[in-house]
């Protein structure tokens, strides 16, 4: 004989249970987001975030992996700099910072400017974004 494993839930009640869980999660996320907007950051962090500008806003920074976020914040603090400058700020190797800065530039968050042998990076402003042309109707993309 097999033991009963408890009452089986019907499909409609399972769906209702999932809907309630999702609603609770949504409420918690709303609470966290509105709370984050109201919280004051320490002065040293607030100054850096005010200087971010258009492309690297707070939500974009939060969406980046930790290693790229640290690089982006160091560059924002510097304003403009080379991989060596950022490496001095983060305490990581210059080669690592160079790779991270180039990755951020490929992602469209930074701009690169070559001056002689040096490559300088800086955060893009919203006005500097390249606007992609919208496809015309009837064309296949």
Per-domain residue ranges of the chain: 43-127
Measured CA angle at 12 (ends 7, 14), to 5 deg: 60
Q: What is the pLDDT of residues 13-43, one digit of tens each?
A: 888 888 888 888 887 777 776 665 555 544 4
CATH number for 43-127 (one of 2.60.120.920, 3.30.413.10, 1.10.10.10, 3.40.50.720): it is 1.10.10.10
Whether the model pTM is above 0.85:
no
């Amino acid at each position: 004989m097999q033991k009963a494993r408890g009452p089986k839930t019907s499909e409609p009640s399972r769906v209702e249970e999932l809907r309630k869980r999702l609603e609770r999660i949504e409420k918690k996320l709303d609470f966290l987001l509105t709370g984050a907007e109201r919280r004051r950051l320490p002065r040293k962090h607030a100054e850096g975030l005010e200087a971010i500008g258009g492309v690297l806003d707070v939500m974009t920074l939060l969406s980046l992996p930790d290693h790229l976020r640290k690089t982006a914040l160091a560059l924002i603090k510097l304003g403009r700099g080379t991989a060596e400058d950022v490496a001095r700020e983060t305490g990581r190797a210059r080669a690592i910072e160079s790779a991270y800065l180039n990755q951020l530039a490929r992602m469209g968050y930074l701009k690169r400017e070559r001056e002689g042998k040096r490559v300088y990076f800086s955060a893009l402003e919203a006005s500097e974004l390249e606007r992609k042309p919208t496809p015309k109707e009837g064309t296949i993309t």
